[in-house]
Every structure is written in C-alpha cells, then in structure tokens.
Chain A
Amino acid sequence: MSKATAWESTEVRGPKLAFSLTPENCGRMLKRAKRLLIVVGGGALDMKSDGLDVPDFTVTLAKTLNGTIAISPGVYKAYQKYSNVKIINIGLEDLVNRLKESDWNGFDDGGAYDMVVFIGGLYYFQSMMLSTLKHFAPKVKTISIDRFYHPNAEFSLENLSIEKWREGLDSIIKILKVK
C-alpha cells in the first residue's frame, strides 16, 4: 500500500486529488494525445542539478507527439537553440487564463488541447495554476510529470527520487517512440 502525498507538506487540498501515475502509465496515456500542450515552468532550468535537461526533454517529447511547448518567460532563452518545434513564450498565469476558457482554440486556432503536461514550475506556483484549472476548467486534462506529486493535477507522478524520476522520464520517451 502506498499513499500519494504532496511534496510540500501543507499542500493538503480536498476530496479531489490527482490520480497517481507510474511513468509507464503516463507514457501510455500521453501516447493517446491528439493535441498536446507541454507547459514548462520558471524553475525548469534548476532541474539541471537533478540531472535533467528540461529543454532537451520537452523538445523531444513535443517532437515525438507533435505537441506545442508553452514556456515560462524566464526560461524561454534556453529554447532559442531548438528548431522544428512549436514553442510559445508566455507567463503561466497568462496561459492558464486562456486554458480555462472553454472556447479557447489554442495558440494555432486548431482547437482545445486534449492533454496539458506540466513540468518545471516552482512547486507552489504550479500547484496554484493547477488549482485554477481543477476548479474552473475541470474538462482540461492536466498531467504533472515533475519529480513531486501535484495533488491539483488530474494525473501526477508520485514523489520520486532523482534517479527513479530520470529513469521514469526516459521510459516515457521509450514508450512514446514505440510505433
């Protein structure tokens, strides 16, 4: 038996908590995405110290699934070197303010995103953005693939060690690349 708990110990929310996902299940879920949005938060570059290059990882993820990456402005500079990937520079609050509108058609006017993956946000900040979506846009499917469990997402990885998390993210990409 295991109990998924928030990384920040005071993030005790309410009756609706994120379903915890294994990386493998997460990969299988993402594979079904038709219009994927990957949201990269302002703490993404700090994850380098955990051995993860978030820009590299998210660009691979986006290219694999033909997704779009919405990047917190403070991190955007690190994405300048990539090509052939759809990247958008937008603050998280600005982004969530659009995601929560049921008639928003996405950055390319191609319709609503069916899955929104979060990674790299400041934990407390990302938690609040997920809370906005949980309450005011419950149809938006949110998935956190950070190292820490996010109760306000609809689905979230559990709290993982650095090694397990890196291995998990690798296994997500492997699953996605299987035809």
Chain B
Amino acid sequence: MLNIQNQYKGNITLSTKISIKELDSTFAKIKGLDIFVGKIVDSEGEWIEPMGPTPYPDITALRNWDLRLLSRYPSFYSPLSDFCEFCTYGKCDLTAGKRGACGIDMEAHMGKWSLLQCVMGAACHVTHARHIIEFLIKKYGKDKPIDLGSEVGIEAPIIRLVAGIKPKKLGDLEEVLTYLEGQVSQLLSATGTGQEQDPNDYESKALHAGMIDLVALEAADIAQISALEMPKGNADAPLIQIGMGVVDKTKPVILCIGHNVAPGSEVINYLEDKGEYGSVEVAGICCTAHDLVRYSKSAKIVGPISRQLMFVRSGISDVMIVDQECVRADIIDEARKLGTRIIASSDQLCGGLPDLTKNDTEDIVRIMVSNETPAVLIRDPVKVGEVAVRVAIEVAPKRKADKGLKNAEILAFTSKCTLCEDCTTNCPIDLDIGKAVNQAKNNNLEPLRKIFAECIGCVRCDSACPQDIPVLSTINAASSEDIKNETFTIRAGRGPIRDTEIRNVGRPIVMGEIPGVIAFAGCSNYPGGNEDLAKMADEFAKRQYIVVASGCSASDIARYRDENGQTIYEKHHGHFDAGGVINTGSCVSNAHSIGAVIKIANIFAKRNLRGNFEEISDYILNRIGAVAIVWGSQHQKALAIATGANRLGIPVILGPQGVKHRRAYLGKREDDERWTVLNARNGKKVYGGPAPEHLLYVVETIEEAMVTAARLVMRSNDTPKGRMIKLSNYVNLHRQLYGCFPDDIQRFVRSESDLPVTIKNEILADIKQKGWKPIEIPDPTLLDRMVLMRE
C-alpha cells in the first residue's frame, strides 16, 4: 500500500512523505519504508514549545485580531489628493463622498494607499533580507549557525512568533524568505483594481504587511550579526565618530550609501587583506553606515539621509557605492559632476549604469580611473570591494583640488536672488529659505546657518529656483565652519537585547515601575532639526524610561551636544534598563526594539511564542508600556514598521511630516464602551481605560509628542505602584510643557492608590468633582479564549 503525504508549515509545503507499507513485486520486497522528499522537520527537537494557532499566517489568518484592533482604533484618513489615478477609467474625483468609475470611495481608496505604502515598505525589507542572506549563505554556507551570543537564547523572537520556527542556521532563514515573498505578492495583488474594497480589510492587510516587514527586519539582522560578527547585545559597544566633519579628506575616501552592508564590508575586508586599512577612509550615510561601524569600529558615519546630498556635493568622496533603499534618485548625477567614481551594487538600484559584474576587475578599475566609464553597476559585493579600494587609491591624488566646497564661488550665486520665495514655498518643512539666501547677498550668512541646522537636505529649493541658484550648496557654504566642527560620538549598534536584561527589567516594565520603553525610529525629515529628537530622548532617559533607537533616529540623537558638551551616548549607559539609551543599529535593527517587547511576554510572563501572534499581541497591548516615536517619517518603510508595531499592540507617535502617510489609528478617550476589556480571571467585561488611547497618532509639536508618549505608555494591567509612576511623569510633563494639569486624569486612576503621593489631594479633588469612582484593576485581555474561568 502506497501513501503520499505532504508536510506543511502554515501555507508552506516543506516536504513530501512517501510511505510504502508493504510491497512484494518481482522488482523488490519492501516493508515499512518512508521516503521524504524536501526538508524534514523535527517538530519537537530541542524546542519544546507547542505550536500555536497561527504559524506562517496567511493574509487573513489574523483578520479577527485586526478587526478587533480597528474597532477600538478606527482608521483616520487625510487624503493627499482628491483623485484616484490607479486605472485608465480615471482619474476619478473622490471628493466628499463621490465614487470613482470602479466604484471605490475615498475611504476605501485611502485604505488601498495605506496597504500599498506598507507593502512597498515591506517589499524593500524583504528584498534587503533576501540579498544579504543569500550573500552570507554564499560566503559562509547554509550551516553557518545563527549565534547572537551566549546571553541571547531567544535569537529570533519575531520569527518564532510569526513563523513558528526556531532558526538555527542561515539556511533555516530561506523558508522564512519564501514565506515573506509569497505574502508580499498576495498583499500587492489585493491593491489591484477590482480586488479588495473594504477599508477595514485594506487595513487588516496593511497590518499584515507591517508584520511581514518586521519578520524581514529580524531575518536580515540576525543573519548579518551572526555571520559578520557584529556586536551581540554588548551594552558597551564602541563609541564611533559621526558627523560631516569626521572624514579625513586627505586620504582616499570611499562613501557607502544605502542599507545593505555587503559591499561596504567587502571594502573593509579587501583593505584589511592588503594591509591598507587606515590609509583609506571608509564612511557611510544612512543605515549602511550603521552596519559598517558594527562590522568595523574604524569606519565612520557621516550622518543620516538628510546629509546625503550635502556630503556628496562636498566632493570629498573619491568613490561612492550605492546599494539599496534611501538612495537619492539624483545622487549618481550629482556625484558624477564632481568626478566622484560611482559603483551601484544592487539589483534594486541599477541607476542606468552599465552592468560590469562579469567583467575583469583590472578592466573595470582601468576604465573607472581613466574616467572612460566613471559609473558602473557591479552586482557582486566582493568585486565591489576590490574595485572601490583600487579606484579610490588611484584617483584620490588627482582629485585633491575637487574636494571641499568652493565657498566664495558658491555664495556669489546669491547675488542673483530676487526674493521670489519659490524656494520657500517649495520647502516641505516651510523653512524661510528665500529670505536667508537674499540676506547672504549682503554677507549676512547667519540666516543660512540657521537653515543648515534644520534642513532635511531634500534640495527642492534648488529645483524651484528660477535663477538656478544652487540653494543647498549656499546653505552648506555659509555653514562650512559648522560642517568642519560637526563631530560627535555614537555607540555602535549593539543588536539584540539580551535575555539576561529582559529577566531584570521584565517585571518592572510589566508592573509599570520602569515607566516605559520609548523607541525612536524613522527618517530625518523633522519639522525643526534633529536637536528636538535628541532632547526628547534625553528627557525620557533622565526620567528613567528605557530609550531605544535605530537607524537614522539613532544617528540623529547623537548629533547634538548638551550644555556640558556631551552627546547622549556619552551621557547615558547602554544597557536595556532604566535610564539607558540604546542604539540597536540600522533600520533592520528596529527588530530588536520590538523583539525585546515580545521577549518580555515570553521570558517574564512565560507566554509561548511559537506561532502565537494574537496572544502575544494581546499581552503587549494590555500590559507592556512600550511606545515608538517616529519623529521623521519619509519612507514607506517607516510606515510599514509602525504598522507592524501596531499589530503587535505597540502604539506609535508620528512627527508632523508623518501626516502625509495619510492614515492614523485613533481611539476616543471619552468612548467608554471602546475601552472595555475582558477580565481573564472571571470573564466579565470591565472598563480598562484608554490605555493606550491611540495606536497611530500624528502630533504637531515636540511638546505634544512627549506628553502623548507619557500618556500612551499606560496599560490596563499597571500595578498601583506602576500607574503611580506613570501618572507622575504624565502630570509632570503636562505641567512642564502645557502649563496646566491634565483634564483626562480621571480616566487613568483606578483607585486612590494609583495617585502620586505628592499630588494626591490635588488630583483627588479634581477627579471627584468629575464624578470619578474607583474601579477594579482587571487581568485584561481582548481575546475570549484567554479567559481562565467564567463566573
């Protein structure tokens, strides 16, 4: 008898089992033979956790959870255009209730945009993960162990939670990638005309895309940490130089821009192999920079994405390598004008350049040095490493005169300014550029210097100027001393949060005694410079919150010195503990901030992770006071990460530019019905309070961001002592920044023992006047199946 059986994980077929119970033929006599084709999975192995209900969830597996979240936090849309332009029936005017030719209305159209942005973001990270993992497997083999150090037992909390697997080696991540790519394709398909049509279902899929994004982040980062020996949760990771002024332009300079560390790490490998490291500067911008310094502490970080064009226009780079994500679309042309040699290195960004991947290295070096072909595509990181170094060493001596801005020459352009203010009206953050340029005509450079401190480097001002003034360059030229002195320190990205740290802080976080975890993430399009971000992080660290930062946020909080001349990383410790300021690393290292929250549920609360997404998210939403602040949010990836965090129950605050993502998830504090939770102890529906009130909220000002964060860390499950500490911070910040007492405090006080001692009488008098009555502290859950016993 022949039996054929497929072995699945979620929607992935891992292997096919062919069983022959008994065969008696002229060919052979067989009894009890099992043949496996594909991958055999030992479902028990050393990981004894039972499989949860949703391993490898498909795009509807967590829909009920999403709809539960969306009933509490409905989508709030701000259309950026009145039209739909997705098909050739259009464009269609969807203003104020009108429907398009396909039948869609503005709300559903906004849901589609929301999904589309999240899928774009997720696709970037999934592709990034695919590229780096494939490269590492090729270099180190599939059996290279995933090893994040002896104190990190839970190496992949997000993958364990979503996929239900425990990856032990690089090769195990391949099935994760296959799953992610399949989901991205399905999600993208839902945005097509005639597919999904309900706003909530669009949002459910957007939440799924966000979750997919988080898995990709983690897969990419644990692979590179393991294979490239990046820091493994070291609280004392080395302090690294960061800033426009840290690069030694007397040496050959190689600049890496983007997110994939592979080409940059190969530059360092080649230099080390040749004994040249130290004689060539290797620097980076954006997340590649973070990962370069995690790989080698001798590399340098120029800065975040906002500094990209500013630095490239300085002409200091002899060779510029661009990989993928966050690379400006004009950067190749800009660099080419200055004689910088350019290497594009990714399938994702070919830049219109000739593909010389298969060419002989000697030939490539020759044509690049001679300027016959100054910009090339090489899709082989190892070859990129060699070519970049050899070209940089050869061209640097010839480019000495091209390095640095010609300040006087550039500032002379300002004489053409007619104060038409087209630059000002094109500035996305409304900087008063026109007047500053005009005043430079009279040698008053101070207004331009002020612009430099806040400029996001988008260079729309240049494009807008009818006089062809290179406005961004005038800003830089006026600020040349500031640029020279722009030298700060940043602690290299440490990667994961150690299990031992979670054991120490799990209880105080869940009980509320550490008032919260504040994660800074996102891009650098701030409303008023990076100083605000650094001040926010500092304030929360001083108040004994745990501050975690990744990507451009981690760079930007470093680029500020306090009144004592210290950067934030010099001032605060790097442990995941009260008062710490942690740089986890690049954009993909955002996975560790989120992973830490998941680990708390597992290590402290003993909740199973394996394929158990709903339960863990329910736990996080109701019990763990974590909030993310995405003060700048340019890229679709930022929205995808934020949305992934939202699905896990982590609220996110966006800075004002984030309003252009067009969607928020808002609760209403006065809507008591919405804040009902189930008390897991007896199954009763009880009031849990607006804790947290919003899942995704956009603020206008730094003051609003800080007070909102202090409010959003409150959770239904806080102990009286924990709630007292959280309320104390909330009231204190409210008074300090708004100048008054909060008017909603009655919604957060469950009993008198929640009240901070020093202001107890004052609060009590206020809330009693509003009819406040004590309530019990529930064992909160939104999931019926989590009720332990029913009365």
Contact = CB atoms under 8 A, between A and B. Distances in A.
Interface of A: 7-10, 13-16, 41-43, 72-77, 80, 89, 91-94, 96-98, 121-125, 128-129, 131-132, 134-136, 138
A15 B82 contact: yes
Interface stretch (B93-101, B248-256, B487-495, B679-687): B93-101
Contacts of B428: 8, 124
A122 B425 contact: no
Given A9-B464, A14-B95, 7 more contacts: A8-B425, A16-B82, A74-B702, A93-B659, A124-B659, A124-B660, A132-B78
Interface in B104-131: 106-107
B743 A89 contact: yes
Nearest to B743: A89
A89 B697 contact: no
B79 A42 contact: no
B345 interface: no
B95 A135 contact: yes
B660 A128 contact: yes
Highest count of chain B CB atoms <10 Å: which of A80, A94, A134? A94
Interface string B420-436: 00100110111000000
Nearest to A79: B739
A72 B704 contact: yes
A79 to B, nearest CB: 8
B92 to A, nearest CB: 10
A73 B425 CA distance: 26
B333 interface: no
B76 interface: yes
Contacts of B700: 41-43, 72, 74, 91-92, 121-122, 125
B6 interface: no
Contacts of B425: 7-9
B86 interface: no
B98 to A, nearest CB: 9
6 contacts: A14-B83, A41-B700, A76-B739, A89-B740, A94-B666, A125-B700
B138 to A, nearest CB: 44
Given A9-B425, A125-B659, A97 B93 contact: no
Given A9-B422, A42-B701, A72-B704, A125 B656 contact: yes
B77 interface: yes
Nearest to A126: B700
Contacts of B738: 73, 76-77, 89
Contacts of A42: 656, 700-701, 704
B106 A135 contact: yes
A13 B701 contact: no
B601 interface: no
B458 to A, nearest CB: 12
Contacts of B77: 132, 135-136
A135 B740 CA distance: 34
A128 B426 contact: no
B699 interface: yes
Contacts of B666: 93-94, 97
A76 B94 CA distance: 36
Contacts of B106: 135-136
B637 to A, nearest CB: 21
Interface in B623-659: 656-657, 659
Highest count of chain B CB atoms <10 Å: which of A13, A43, A98, A124? A124
Contacts of A132: 76-79
A9 B426 CA distance: 6
A95 B256 CA distance: 44
Interface in B256-305: none
A113 to B, nearest CB: 17
B181 interface: no
B737 interface: yes
Interface in B694-718: 697-704, 707-708
B93 A15 contact: yes
Interface of B: 76-83, 93-97, 106-107, 422, 425-426, 428-430, 464, 527, 656-657, 659-660, 662, 664, 666, 668, 697-704, 707-708, 737-740, 743
B697 A93 contact: yes
Nearest to A42: B700
Nearest to A17: B82
Given A74-B700, A76-B740, A122 B78 contact: no
A129 to B, nearest CB: 7
Contacts of A135: 77, 79, 82, 94-97, 106
A157 to B, nearest CB: 16
A129 B703 CA distance: 19
Highest count of chain B CB atoms <10 Å: which of A15, A77, A93, A131? A93
Highest count of chain B CB atoms <10 Å: which of A92, A121, A128? A128
A63 to B, nearest CB: 20
Contacts of B656: 42, 122, 124-125
Contacts of A8: 425-426, 428, 430
B740 A122 contact: no
Contacts of A98: 668
B701 A74 contact: yes
A10 B426 contact: yes
A77 B740 CA distance: 7
A51 to B, nearest CB: 15
Contacts of B422: 9
A9 B461 CA distance: 11
A128 B740 contact: no
A80 to B, nearest CB: 5
A15 B677 CA distance: 45
A154 to B, nearest CB: 11
A15 B426 contact: no
Nearest 8 CB-CB pairings of A with B: A14-B82, A74-B701, A42-B700, A77-B739, A128-B78, A74-B703, A138-B96, A42-B701
B430 A73 contact: no
B703 A124 contact: no
Nearest to B739: A77
Given A125-B659, A136-B106, A74 B93 contact: no
B703 A13 contact: no
Nearest to A93: B698
A163 to B, nearest CB: 15
A80 B739 contact: yes
A136 B107 contact: yes
A80 B739 CA distance: 7
A38 to B, nearest CB: 16
Nearest to A132: B78
Contacts of B97: 135, 138
B82 A13 contact: yes
A91 B697 contact: yes
A76 B666 CA distance: 22
A96 B94 CA distance: 20
Contacts of A75: 701
A134 B82 CA distance: 10
A13 B93 CA distance: 10
A122 B431 CA distance: 11
A173 B253 CA distance: 62
A77 B697 CA distance: 21
Contact of B78 (A10, A41, A77, A129): A129
A98 B670 CA distance: 11
A39 B772 CA distance: 29
Contacts of B739: 76-77, 80
A123 B80 CA distance: 13
Contact of A73 (B80, B429, B698, B701): B701
Nearest to B77: A132
Contacts of A125: 656, 659, 698, 700
B96 A134 contact: yes
A91 B703 CA distance: 11
Contact of B708 (A9, A91, A136): A91
A74 B78 contact: no
Nearest to B107: A136
Contact of B95 (A15, A43, A94, A121): A15
A129 B94 CA distance: 17
